[in-house]
Chains A and B, each alone.
Chain A
Amino acid sequence: MTRVRRIWTFALALVLVAVVWEVYKWIGPQDGGTVFGWTILPRANDQAMPHVWEMLSRYAEPERRGSSTSIFVVVLTGAWFTLRLALTGFVLGTIVGLGLAILMARFRFVERGLLPYLIVSQTVPLIALAPLVVSWGGKLHLGGFEWPRWLSAAVLGAFLAFFPVAVGTLRGLTSTPPASLELMDSYAASWRQTLFKLRFPAAVPYIVPSLKLAATASVVGVVVAELSTGLAGGVGRLIIEYAREATSDPAKVYTAVFGAAALGLLMAGVVALVDLLTMRNRPREATE
C-alpha cells in the first residue's frame, strides 16, 4: 500500500515539475528578467526552455539528420556505459569508505589525523583532479596491466562516493550503545568479534543512507570525469556534444540530461533494495 503510494507521489512530482516548467514558460519574460538590476529570471523562450513535449518527442527522432538510430537508443547506450562506470566507482568508493571508517574507529589517532584531510579532499574541484588522475593512470604499469581510460572515470566516481560512506560508517561504528559494548567485554570478545557481531550491524542504519548519497555521488563523479577528460561513450560526453547544438536543437541536450538523472535514480534504487534486505527484521523506528 505505502509502496504504491510512493510510486504515485513520485509520478505526481514529475508531472508537477513539468507543469511548473510550462507555466513559467507561459508567463515568464522571453528574454530573461532583471530584479533590482540583476538578471536572475531565466529566459522563457523556446531556445532556453523547450516545451516538455518537445523534449520527450525528441527521444523518438534520430540522433542527427541521416542517422537511423533514434536518440533514445543513443542515450540508453550512453547511460548503460556510464552506469557500469558509476557502479564500479560506487563499489570502489564503498570499499575504501568502509575501510577508512573501520581504521578510524579502531585507532583514534587515525581519525584525528585523517578526517581533516578527507574533508579537504572533497573541496578539491573534480574538474581539476580529473586530468591528473588520467595522467597518473597512464604512467601506472603494474606488470602487464594497462590502465584503461574508463578506469580513471570510475576512480573519480569513487573519489566522490567514498566520503559519505566513510563519514556515515564512522558515525555508526562509534555510536554503538555503551551497554552493548560492556556486554561484549563481559564475554571477553576481541575487537574483531565486537566489530563484526556488534559495531557493524548496529551501524547499518547509519551506513545505508550514506550509501544512497554515495550512489548518486558516483554518477556525478563519473559524468564530470567524462566531461573533463573527454572520455567517449557515456552520457556525460553526450551532454557536452548536445549542448553545442543547443541553438539549433535545444531539446536535444535535455534528453541526455534526463538520462543522467535517471541513472542517479536507478543507483539510489539499487541501494534502496539493499536497505530493504538489511533492515527487514529491524524495528520500524530504526528504518525510517
Chain B
Amino acid sequence: MTGVKAVEVRGLSKVFNAGKPNEVPALVDIDLVIEPGEFVSLIGPSGCGKSTQLRLIANLLEPTTGEVLVNGKPARTARLDQDYGMAFQQAGLFDWRSVVKNVELPLELKGWDKARRRTRALEMLELVKLPEFAEHFPWQLSGGMQQRVAIARALAAHPPLLLMDEPFGALDEMTREHMQAELLRIFGETATTVVFVTHSIPEAVYLSTRVVVMSPRPGRITDVIEVDLGPGRDVDTREADAFFKKVTEVREALRGIQPAGVEPDIVQVVDEP
C-alpha cells in the first residue's frame, strides 16, 4: 500500500451557521498531506480552527467545501471503519466502567468477543504502564493516569491513525512532560501516525516531526516547520540547542500572526441548532 497517505486534506473550508446572521468562517483553503508514520502538530492561538480541523479529519464535522481522505478513504468511511482513535483534553472515561472495561469499549462496539477484547485491553494497559490498575475505577486514578487510559482506549483497536485534541492541556507541567515522553515511546513502539492539536510551542516541537502553524479569523495554515530532531528524543533533547532553535522558529512563525484577544475569541466546534 505504498503511496497511500495517512491524511489528505484538499481545499478544505468550514463555515459554521452558514447563511445565518451569526455565520462564522472557521477554516479556509486548508491543504495538508500527512504521510504514514508522521507526528504532526497543529498549533495556533485559540480560535484558529485547529480543533475544528481535527474534527473534520475525524468526520465528527462535515466540511463546507473540499475533501478529507483518511487512509485513502473518504473521512466518513474511515470513521465507520474505525481507522482512527481519538483522545480529547478531558480523558472522558466512563465512571461506571472499570479501567480495563473502558479500554475495551471500542472493541466491544466492534463486536469482538469477551476473551479477545480482554486480552487486547490488558496488552494496551501494559503499553501505557498501568496493568495493575485494570480493575480500578477512573475516579480512583490521577489526571495523568486517566489520560493514559484514554490513550490506551484510543489505540485499543490498533488504528493506523491517532487524533489528539490537546490531550495534556489539563495536566500540570511535570505530568505533562512525563506524558509527552510516554507518548513518544508509544509512538515509536506502535508505528501510529499522530495528528496532535496543542497550543504549547515546546510540546509541539518536542513531539512532532512537523509543526503546522495556523492563524485565526479565518483559520488557515500560515507555516509548516519540519522538526529534524531525530527519533530518539529524551530529556536531553529538551535542553539541546537544536530544540531551542526550533522553538524559536515556531515562535517567530506565530509572532507574525495577529494575536487573538483584541476582540473576543470565537471558539466554536459545532453548529448552533
Interface residues of A (CB under 8 A from B): 177-180, 182-189, 193, 197-198, 201-202, 204, 281-283, 286
Contact = CB atoms under 8 A, between A and B. Distances in A.
Contact of B105 (A177, A197, A281): A197
Nearest to A108: B273
Contact of A186 (B86, B98, B139): B86
A202 B92 CA distance: 12
B88 A286 contact: no
A283 B84 contact: no
A186 B109 contact: no
Interface in B12-60: 58, 60
A282 B95 contact: yes
B82 interface: yes
A184 B108 CA distance: 12
A201 B96 contact: yes
Contacts of A281: 95-96, 98, 137
A186 B86 CA distance: 7
Contact of A282 (B60, B79, B96, B105): B96
Contact of B94 (A178, A188, A193, A198): A198
Contacts of B88: 179, 182-183
Given A182-B60, A286-B95, 20 more contacts: A179-B92, A180-B92, A183-B92, A184-B109, A185-B60, A186-B58, A186-B79, A186-B86, A187-B106, A187-B109, A188-B109, A197-B94, A197-B105, A198-B94, A202-B96, A204-B96, A282-B96, A282-B137, A283-B95, A283-B139
Chain A contact residues, majority secondary structure: helix
Interface of B: 58, 60, 79-82, 84-86, 88, 90, 92, 94-96, 98, 105-106, 108-109, 137, 139, 270
Contacts of B108: 197
B100 to A, nearest CB: 13
B94 A180 contact: yes
B99 to A, nearest CB: 11
Contacts of A188: 79-82, 109
A106 B105 CA distance: 22
A186 B154 CA distance: 10
Contacts of A197: 94, 105, 108-109
B150 to A, nearest CB: 9
A186 B84 contact: yes
Contacts of A182: 60, 88
B163 to A, nearest CB: 8
A180 B106 CA distance: 13
A280 to B, nearest CB: 10
Contacts of A185: 60, 79
Of A188, A189, A283, most B-chain CB atoms within 10 Å: A188
B96 to A, nearest CB: 5
Contacts of A286: 95
**A-B complex: 10 closest residue pairs judged by Cβ atoms:** A283-B139, A186-B86, A188-B80, A201-B96, A179-B92, A187-B109, A189-B109, A281-B137, A187-B106, A188-B79
A198 B105 CA distance: 10
